[in-house]
């Protein structure tokens, strides 16, 4: 699954993932607690197939959910609900 | 000859009769005898179909493999931290990219070479550790990560 850098950036914005400049990872926060580390591409262009899969896996969602997240129907609230169902929050 | 006929002919000649096979199980099931006769079949097929190169490209994609192996690293290449024990790293190589993953922490790094990928992973490991140290209260995944960090990392 190829993920463009802009798509990853847009997912970070949508999920309000905190990401510091030049850091590999950003943190998904919920109620001020760090919940998940999520990898961010660091200046090497788009994420090639396998790296895109790793990015999805770091979000703890399946391909269908990832597509929904990327193509907009899934918002932060819906994503948090998925994590709660998985008892990760 | 239209595209469907060409596809059907290609599958018959190359032994992919079961059209429901996925690329991964085709790769898994490639036998030695298939390997030996592969190029003969391709050659025959190209001859019969007037050497249409687009089909050959498809075959290469279907047979693309992912190399995987495990290594251990015993340093983070950072003077502030010592690894108390060597940690396992899975190295994957596919589509000209190396990915280094530590499954205990769920962290990875990638690069054009194995060395770059492992260094990227080292950077991720250090960054996450430093971020977690600043957290007052840890959620489920970060607390598991921190427990593992305590097993492997010592500060100088």
The string of DSSP codes covering A35-57 is EEEEE---SS-SBPHHHHHHHHH
Q: Is B27 exposed, middle or buried (0-12, 13-18, 19+ CB in 10 A)?
A: middle
Whether the pLDDT of residue B32 is over 60: the answer is no
- pTM: predicted TM-score of the whole model, two decimal places: 0.68
Q: Say whether residue A19 is in contact with chain B using an 8 A CB cutoff.
A: no
| Percent above pLDDT 90 for chain A | 0
Which among B111, B128, B138 is the nearest to A25, CB-wise? B128
> What pLDDT band is residue B149 in, cutting at 50, 70 and 90?
very high
Look at residue B101 in the predicted model and tell me its pLDDT. 92
Map out the domains of chain A as residue ranges: 5-85
The listed range with the strongest mean pLDDT (A65-69, A72-76, B137-141, B145-149) is B145-149
Arithmetic mean of pLDDT over chain A: 83
Dihedral angle computed from the Cα positions of residues B69, B74, B79 and B81, in that order, rounded to the nearest 10 degrees: 100
Chain A positions in Cβ-Cβ contact with residue B61 (cut-off 8 Å): none
Whether the pLDDT of residue B28 is over 60: the answer is no
Residue A49: CA atoms inside 13 Å, Cβ hemisphere, count? 9
Q: Do the beta carbons of residue A50 and residue B66 sit within 8 Å?
A: yes
Q: What is the spatial distance between Cα A19 and Cα A13, in angstroms, rounded to a whole number?
A: 10
Strand segments (E) across B3-143? 67-73, 81-83, 87-94, 97-102, 107-111
pLDDT digits (tens, 9 = 90+) for A14-48: 888 877 766 778 888 888 888 888 887 665 577 77
Q: Give the closest residue to B94 by CA, choosing from A52, A60, A8.
A: A52
Arithmetic mean of pLDDT over chain B: 76
CB interface of B with A, residues 4-63, below 8 Å? none
Sheet holding B97-102, edge to edge: B67-73, B87-94, B97-102, B107-111
CB interface of B with A, residues 82-141, below 8 Å? 92, 94-97, 99, 101, 106-111, 120, 123-124, 127-128, 131-132, 135, 137-141
């Amino acid at each position: 699954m190829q993920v463009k850098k802009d798509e990853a950036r847009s997912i970070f914005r949508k999920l309000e993932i905190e990401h510091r400049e030049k850091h590999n990872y950003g943190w998904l926060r919920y109620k001020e607690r760090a919940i998940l580390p999520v990898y961010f591409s660091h200046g090497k262009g788009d994420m090639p197939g396998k790296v895109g899969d790793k990015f999805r896996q770091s979000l703890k969602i399946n391909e269908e959910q990832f597509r929904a997240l990327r193509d907009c129907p899934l918002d932060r609230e819906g994503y948090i609900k998925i994590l709660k169902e998985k008892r990760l929050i | 000859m239209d595209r469907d006929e060409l596809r059907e002919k290609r599958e018959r000649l190359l032994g992919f009769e079961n059209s429901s096979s996925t690329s991964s199980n085709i790769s898994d099931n490639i036998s030695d005898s298939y390997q030996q006769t592969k190029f003969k079949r391709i050659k025959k097929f190209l001859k019969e179909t007037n050497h249409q190169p687009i089909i050959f490209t498809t075959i290469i994609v279907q047979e693309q493999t992912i190399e995987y192996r495990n290594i251990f690293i015993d340093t983070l290449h950072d003077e502030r931290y010592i690894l108390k024990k060597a940690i396992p790293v899975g190295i994957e190589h596919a589509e000209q990219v190396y990915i280094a993953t530590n499954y205990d922490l769920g962290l990875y790094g990638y690069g054009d070479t194995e060395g770059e990928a492992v260094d990227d992973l080292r950077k991720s490991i250090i960054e996450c550790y430093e971020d977690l140290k600043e957290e007052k209260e840890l959620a489920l995944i970060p607390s598991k990560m921190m427990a593992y960090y305590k097993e492997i990392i010592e500060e100088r």
